[in-house]
Amino acid sequence: MTSLLSNSLEKASRALDKTEHGAKVAQLSACTKDNTHPDWRITTDYGVKQSNTDEWLKVASEDHVGPALLEDAHGREKIMRFDHERIPERVVHARGAGAFGTFKLLESAADVTSAGVLTDTSRSTPVFVRFSTVLGSRGSPDTVRDVRGFAVKFYTEEGNWDLVGNNIPVFFIQDAIKFPDVIHAAKPEPQNEIPQAQSAHNNFWDFMYMAPEATHMFLWAMSDRAIPRSYRMMEGFGVNTFTLINEKGERSFVKFHWKPTLGVHSLVWDEAIKINGADPDFHRKDLFMSIENGAYPKWRFGIQVLPESREHDFPDFDILDATKIWPEDEIPIRWIGELELNRNPDEYFPEVEQIAFCTSHVVPGIGFSDDPLLQGRNFSYFDTQISRLGVNFQELPINRPVCPVMNHNRDGKLRHTITKGPANYWPNRFGAVPPAKPSEGAYIDYPAKIAGIKARLRSKKFGYHWNQAQLFYNSLTEIEKEHVAAALSFELDHCEDNVVYDRMCERLADIDLALAQKVATMVGGPIPQQAGRPNHGKKTRGISQLEKPAETPTIATRRVAIIIADGYDPVAYNGMKAALLAAQALPFTIAPRRSPIFAAGEDRNTGKGVKPDHHLEGMRSVLFDAIFLPGGTLESIQTLRSSGRAMHWVREAFGHLKPIGATGGAVALVKEAFAVTGLAFSEDASEEAVESYGVVTAGKVSPDGFKEVVSVAKAGAD
């Protein structure tokens, strides 16, 4: 795929390094080295060149070599460094991928905040974004059913701002003190560490029932949002309620949003579970390759703002409750900025693994609210970085702010800044300047007036667990509702304890009776006869992902398999490949073998043939967004028809509702493959009927036909 990278794109991304990423890349380059320097030879970590890095120093005689000597400092260093390569993985969100990018403000929010990053439209703020799954270990697959992390570090001129969000706008619990419970219940069970990276087990669903506040979020987690097609095609949400403070000292509540310009798209579950085996790095690769190919993913940045005076205006929910959304129908989103990811990391560990986010890291103009989940998070992240990376974690290159840092924090493990001067305390007698005033850019802690009793409490509206769960379900389209029912049926099928699935069937009746009945029938639970709580029937905008197509329909970066065999039609093959490349899609040639495949009429002794990118056994249709069969001689069709794998590619792509194109003799092959699915398209089936399934066939090859396949694929991509 890298071969698609044109020189001009490479140049463009290098140019970006200097301009768009500015300060952060300049800072990182000071600690970046290039191990490919032609004059360099292998040395120890203390800099001494070594002549042999393949044999340990040993005692040798004529007929015997060994034992190995402890004296070998190079050998010992090499092994000891290796022994200590791992650090504790993140306790949640261990599996992740990241990239550098740029945040640009398109419209100033100076009416509500004084933050430079949200008011100065001339700025280009460097960022690093890390996407992740929550439950799995570092080596777990990418396409599991799970919430995805969407953590953004803005390296602003006033210090680092970490917006640590998810791709789902609500959370399982309301108070941070319950975080260890929900995570213990969701992670592998303690007696056998099973299952990995799955919520489909007894403990998770036990907790979902026992903690009714989780009801809204588990519906989101059972929806298509939890199996995204790509990190580039998912929304991001700050989830918690933060605050903004403007120059006049007025405070507003705020929720942060990211919306992908490529639209929100998901896999289907059958694809997701198969991709986990076929390519466990599917999302990581997708992000890396699209940036490498110059197809930089973009998101709009939005804020939902409520003046402080409106805190109690919403009878159905508390605006500080992280298990609730602020419905867009009531509080619209102001889209004010844009994020683009345009540079891959140079090395995974020092950048993606060592990046450390803390929700407590905000800049002047942005503050916290009394959201009890956020308050606990502000403690937890800093604490976890100390155990993961050590107390000097903010000195690591990826974590350093681009503005000056001056304070009297010193020492600790692996401190490496050398600070000159005799004073490591304040105030001191050496005439150091005093701390800045607010007018000089200092952070202002908003002087909120607080009075009350000390107690372990939640406010009353935190008890309304059902209204937004129903609102979410009602706002989905029929197909999305079917997917929720199927996901619940899958998950509860993996719970062997009938106490768990029986209770969950009862719980679902608090949301929607038909949903509960459908799932109960599938999983063998008691079938509820009446709703636990009547469904209020309300809906809102912004929930169904079908409302969120790409800003401009596109198949750029989508993967298309062109399946050929010896005797293929070169006009159809080359024409389609050219049409796909023109649309910036990624065509892959797939054939029964990876050695050259010869076109119809090509001499197999003198011709060069086409070298496929993969053979049919090396890949699976689940790894592609669309397939095309160019047809050709009888021999070529016969080769594919008699291959169970080739026919399975076609059927599986059809089963996953992917666009399929075929020309010439391949049309009959495609129809034959469908016959097994029970959807035999008769020879005289109307074109519309066939196309309604995303299938485009043409007896004759024509440039218009290629365009049509591309346009059906575009519609399919949405």
Query: Annotated active-site positions, please?
Result: 93, 166
**Whether 462 contacts 468, CB under 8 Å:** no
- Can residue 149 be called a binding residue for ligand HDD (CB under 6 A)? yes
User: DSSP string covering 129-183, please?
Assistant: EEEEESSS-TTS-SSSSS-EEEEEEEEETTEEEEEEEESSSS-S-SSGGGHHHHH
Report, in Å, the least distance between residue 391 CB and ligand HDD.
15
Report, in Å, the least distance between residue 389 CB and ligand HDD.
9
Out of 24, 74, 95, 130, name the contact with ligand HDD by CB under 6 A.
Answer: 130
Cβ distance to ligand HDD smaller for residue 359 or 557: 359
- The candidate with the shortest Cα–Cα distance to 332, out of 311, 296, 294, 305, is 305
For the chain, the straight-line distance linking the first and the last C-alpha, in angstroms and rounded, comes to 23
What is the helix (H) or strand (E) element at residue 16, kind and residue range?
helix 7-18
- Can residue 140 be called a binding residue for ligand HDD (CB under 6 A)? no
Residue nearest to ligand HDD (CB): 149
Report, in Å, the least distance between residue 32 CB and ligand HDD.
21
Binding region for ligand HDD (CB under 6 A) out of 377-385, 512-520, 583-591, 660-668: 377-385
Site for ligand HDD in 221-240 (CB under 6 A): 239-240
Report, in Å, the least distance between residue 561 CB and ligand HDD.
33
Angle at 112 between CA 106 and CA 114, to 5 degrees: 80
Cα separation of 675 and 680, whole Å?
A: 4
Cα separation of 610 and 567, whole Å?
A: 11
Cβ distance to ligand HDD smaller for residue 319 or 653: 319
Q: Enter the DSSP assignment of 90.
A: P
Out of 219, 221, 320, 322, name the contact with ligand HDD by CB under 6 A.
Answer: 322
3-state secondary structure of 367: strand
Cα separation of 173 and 458, whole Å?
A: 12
Site for ligand HDD in 179-198 (CB under 6 A): 179
At 658, the amino acid letter reads K
Out of 230, 342, 384, 392, name the contact with ligand HDD by CB under 6 A.
Answer: 384
Binding region for ligand HDD (CB under 6 A) out of 171-179, 516-524, 528-536, 573-581: 171-179
Out of 74, 93, 145, 283, name the contact with ligand HDD by CB under 6 A.
Answer: 93
Cα separation of 638 and 284, whole Å?
A: 37
- Can residue 164 be called a binding residue for ligand HDD (CB under 6 A)? yes
Binding region for ligand HDD (CB under 6 A) out of 164-172, 271-279, 410-418, 660-668: 164-172
Report, in Å, the least distance between residue 146 CB and ligand HDD.
12
- Can residue 679 be called a binding residue for ligand HDD (CB under 6 A)? no
Out of 155, 171, 220, 588, name the contact with ligand HDD by CB under 6 A.
Answer: 171
Report the DSSP beta bridge partners of residue 128.
Answer: 100, 153
Strands 660-663 and 695-698 turn out to be: parallel
Tokens of 323: 């298990």
Binding region for ligand HDD (CB under 6 A) out of 41-49, 333-341, 371-379, 458-466: 371-379
Report, in Å, the least distance between residue 384 CB and ligand HDD.
4
**Between the CA of residue 602 and those of 365, 555, 605, 606, 682, what are the distances in Å?**
69, 32, 9, 8, 33
Cα separation of 202 and 217, whole Å?
A: 18
- Can residue 368 be called a binding residue for ligand HDD (CB under 6 A)? no
Out of 377, 465, 507, 559, name the contact with ligand HDD by CB under 6 A.
Answer: 377
- Can residue 91 be called a binding residue for ligand HDD (CB under 6 A)? yes
Strands 366-368 and 242-245 turn out to be: antiparallel
Site string for ligand HDD, 338-367 (x = CB under 6 A): ------------------xx----------
- Can residue 381 be called a binding residue for ligand HDD (CB under 6 A)? yes
**Between the CA of residue 385 and those of 381, 460, 480, what are the distances in Å?**
6, 34, 38
3-state secondary structure of 263: coil
Cβ distance to ligand HDD smaller for residue 355 or 599: 355
Tokens of 398: 């990826």
- Can residue 151 be called a binding residue for ligand HDD (CB under 6 A)? yes
**Whether 126 contacts 155, CB under 8 Å:** yes
> Residues in the site for ligand HDD, rule: CB under 6 A?
90-93, 96, 130, 132, 149, 151, 164-166, 171, 176, 179, 239-240, 322, 356-357, 373, 376-377, 380-381, 384
